[in-house]
């Protein structure tokens, strides 16, 4: 069955040349409109927390007075089987293709999914840090927004903006984690649901927005509060830091509304985002009293573990083969270290080659865990156009030798 994403009332139109203010016919405030794009880039039940975070974000925006027609919510329909107003595919092209065409608008983007060094995922694809920031710069240069904030929930999410997002294009971004660590799921302890219900960083900014007067709280004040309430990772801020003095309400809604929650919640039972499928299976096995069900689940767990071990082994073989081709001298060092990503453009080309020739990272998200090794290779080499083309060809051959048609379908 073909899967579709759910899109709630349309905020942006694809390839439109008409200013949004004219399309919608109303302004959020006296001076500017507030628009929002809320994206859950993943699918499958194990990733329920991403959809839950986005739904909570939608309620926060509505509760603070942002009109429904100014919000677009993008999520897969395999969690909530609603009928939709408009159906599109969840793709990077659609996400980057939304037209923001009023130079006075305040825009809020929230994205929740898997990630790794310089990439974030969609159900069957990825966006690189190079492509994302190129789109943001294009939007600024073509006066498609006035001010923009971007909240990003993903592992290694800091790497999407570090050493690449300009500090002079009226964009302020915060991320769930720095460039070398995972983000964390939380509220994972309900045995009936057996899945994480939220992400820690997302709970922090959402609960802050629920419980504070965001018409008076600044972005900087909210960020400091989020850091305090995100104990398992290190949220970061990027871009035009001078915008941090603006009120949160300029992006999440300027209505001083009643609180959604009477008291601030306290996240519990944290699980590393990469290990949610593994941990949930283990807990399900522990809780069942049905021997037949336990056997089926145990086999599923073994398959999952085998797939992960296979991928780890294959990446080691690929790196060793690339080292033997002259791109590195010590495979163990490439595998065990993390160099800062500086050359986002070249890395984007390498990741896309891996995506097309090795493993679809949008589908087999655990593969993202190992992408730092390719960032290391990019930063350790000074590629010319010809040497990069040779590297990409050698990478494709290594992928064919060690991953393609070798059982990677087991990986989750």
Find out whether 48 and 82 touch, Cβ atoms under 8 Å: no
CA atoms within 13 A on the CB side of 125: 11
Q: Burial, 190: exposed, middle or buried (Cβ in 10 Å; 0-12, 13-18, 19+)?
A: exposed
Within 8 A by CB and 6+ apart from 138, the residues are: none
Active-site residue, selected from the candidate residues 140, 155, 196, 366 = 155
Annotated catalytic residue 358: no
Any bridge partners for residue 73, and if so which? 38
Burial 82-109 (b: 16+ CB within 10 A, else e): eeeeeebebbbebbeebbbbbeebbbbb
User: How far apart (Å, rounded) are the C-alpha atoms in residues 252 and 254?
Assistant: 7
Annotated catalytic residue 261: no
Find out whether 213 and 254 touch, Cβ atoms under 8 Å: no
How far lies 192's CA from each of 80, 196, 272, 285, in Å? 17, 11, 20, 13
Alpha helices in 123-257 (DSSP H): 129-141, 200-211, 219-228, 249-252
Q: Of 327, 317, 320, 324, give the one whose Cα is nearest residue 350.
A: 327
Q: Of 203, 206, 199, 187, give the one whose Cα is nearest residue 58.
A: 206
Active-site residue, selected from the candidate residues 50, 64, 106, 114 = 114
The residues annotated with a catalytic role in the active site are 114, 155
């Amino acid at each position: 069955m073909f899967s579709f994403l759910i899109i709630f009332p349309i905020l942006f139109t694809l390839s439109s040349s008409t200013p949004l203010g004219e399309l919608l016919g109303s302004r959020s405030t006296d001076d500017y409109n507030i628009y929002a794009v809320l994206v859950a880039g993943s699918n499958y039940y194990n990733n329920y927390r991403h959809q839950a975070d986005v739904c909570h974000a939608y309620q926060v925006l509505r509760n603070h007075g942002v009109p429904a027609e100014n919000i677009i919510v993008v999520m897969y329909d395999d969690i909530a089987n609603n009928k939709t107003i408009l159906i599109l595919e969840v793709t990077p092209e659609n996400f980057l293709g939304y037209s923001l065409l009023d130079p006075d608008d305040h825009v809020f983007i929230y994205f929740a999914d898997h990630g790794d060094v310089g990439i974030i995922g969609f159900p069957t694809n990825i966006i690189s840090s190079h492509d994302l920031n190129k789109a943001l710069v294009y939007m600024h240069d073509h006066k498609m927004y006035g001010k923009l904030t971007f909240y990003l929930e993903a592992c290694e999410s800091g790497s999407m903006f570090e050493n690449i997002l300009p500090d002079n294009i009226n964009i302020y971004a915060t991320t769930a984690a720095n460039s070398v660590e995972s983000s964390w799921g939380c509220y994972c302890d309900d045995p009936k649901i057996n899945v994480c219900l939220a992400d820690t960083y997302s709970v922090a900014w959402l609960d802050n927005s629920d419980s504070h007067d965001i018409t008076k709280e600044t972005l900087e004040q909210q960020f400091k509060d989020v850091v305090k309430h995100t104990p398992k990772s290190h949220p970061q801020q990027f871009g035009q830091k001078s915008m941090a003095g603006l009120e949160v309400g300029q992006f999440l809604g300027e209505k001083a509304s009643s609180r959604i929650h009477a008291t601030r919640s306290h996240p519990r039972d944290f699980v590393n985002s990469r290990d949610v499928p593994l941990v949930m299976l283990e807990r399900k096995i522990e809780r069942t009293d049905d021997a037949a069900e336990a056997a089926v689940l145990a086999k599923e767990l073994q398959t999952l573990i085998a797939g992960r071990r296979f991928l780890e082994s294959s990446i080691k073989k690929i790196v060793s083969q690339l080292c033997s081709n002259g791109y590195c001298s010590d495979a163990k060092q490439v595998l065990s270290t993390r160099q800062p990503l500086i050359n986002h453009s070249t890395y984007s080309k390498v990741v896309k080659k891996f995506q097309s020739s090795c493993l679809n990272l949008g589908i087999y998200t655990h593969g993202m865990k190992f992408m730092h090794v390719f960032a290391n290779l990019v930063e350790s080499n000074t590629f010319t156009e010809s040497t990069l083309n040779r590297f990409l060809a050698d990478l494709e051959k290594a992928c064919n030798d060690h991953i393609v048609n070798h059982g990677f379908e087991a990986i989750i």
